[in-house]
Homo-oligomer: A and B are copies of this chain.
């Protein structure tokens, strides 16, 4: 009798531990968020997801975008900056815009101060994340252990063979951050770009990117800067946009909360979803209409019109 109770107790303990282990495991996957310039017309992204799924069928895989323009490292950097803070701590981003694939650029995992992980070639992709989230630690991927078994002969698809594989193992807890590889200096390859500034009563900035789907023009002039200039909703802003220093657009527009605050077809200035100053035309494309595009050759000045 005594024995049976003890046996039951022990059995109970074993089953409990075993169950919780399984439950814990089933719940342990962080998100794996993939960004590439591969497009989705072929099977490349699916091969990456297959490799990740093969690591652990409970993995949660998402797309950031696969439509980064080919080789455009700047846009890769921007998209990571735009979205990563909306994913929880622990999320593992794999970003593969890698014109130097197979050459001597480093393959790294960067852990930010916010607890997000970025698996990527160190080629400028981390430029903006390093500034906004801060670098906690960088490890270089040890490809002797963190590489899809049997893929040694392939030199041109690190996205599948190294980055997806390593990202999936990290996201699912199959390896710890420490097991990625050795710590290296917490410095990254950076893309140079013009930071925004205030001169007198004028804000100066660039057009880092377009809101392509609608043709809205985003700047890197943020709310703090306009607050300093005393800009408030319903002020009129004088806006000049330059390409390589040549005036490409000049106009005045209302600063409002949202598109519908001006009539259809009228221009507006507003804060985009990152709280950066942007220009749009309600129900039309500012970019197409005024032939304004994005990149380092584009600059912007903004000042408040005295009423």
Residues of A within 8 A of B (CB): 1-2, 4-5, 8-9, 11-12, 15-16, 19-20, 22-23, 26-27, 29-31, 33, 37-44, 46-51, 53-54, 57-58, 60-67, 70-71, 79-80, 82-84, 86-88, 91, 99-103, 153-157, 160, 209, 211-214, 223, 257-261, 270-273, 275, 283
Determine which of B54, B57, B103 lies in contact with A60 in the assembled complex, contact meaning CB atoms within 8 Å: B57
Question: Which residues does chain B contribute within 8 Å of A80, judged by CB atoms?
Answer: 43
Interface residue from B31, B82, B260 paired with A42 (Cβ < 8 Å): B82
With A43-B79, A271-B155 as given contacts, are A102 and B8 in contact (CB-CB < 8 Å)? no
For this complex, 9 residue pairs linking A to B, each with C-beta atoms less than 8 Å apart, are A4-B9, A31-B50, A38-B213, A39-B212, A43-B79, A53-B60, A99-B283, A100-B260, A103-B261
Residue of B nearest to A223 (CB): B153
Q: Is the CB of A33 within 8 A of B57?
A: no
Q: How many monomers of this protein are in the complex?
A: 3
The residue of chain B having its C-beta at the shortest distance from the C-beta of A7 within the complex is B9
Residues of B within 8 A of A65 (CB): 40-43, 46
Question: Are the C-beta atoms of A27 and B26 separated by less than 8 Å?
Answer: yes
Given A5-B5, A12-B8, A50-B87: A42 in contact with B259 (beta carbons within 8 A):
no
| Separation of A57 and B30 alpha carbons in the complex (Å) | 8
Q: Contact at A86–B50, with CB atoms within 8 Å? A: yes
A48 CA to B5 CA in the complex, in Å?
53
Please give, as numbers and ranges, the residues of chain B lying within 8 Å of A83 by CB-CB distance. Answer: 43, 46-47, 50
Q: How far is B64's CA from A306's CA once the two chains are assembled, in angstroms?
A: 48
Contact B275 A153 (CB under 8 A): yes
Distance in angstroms from A303 CB to nearest chain B CB is: 22
| Known pairs A12-B12, A19-B19, A40-B63; A54 contacts B87 (CB<8 A) | yes
A103 to B258, CA, bound (A): 7
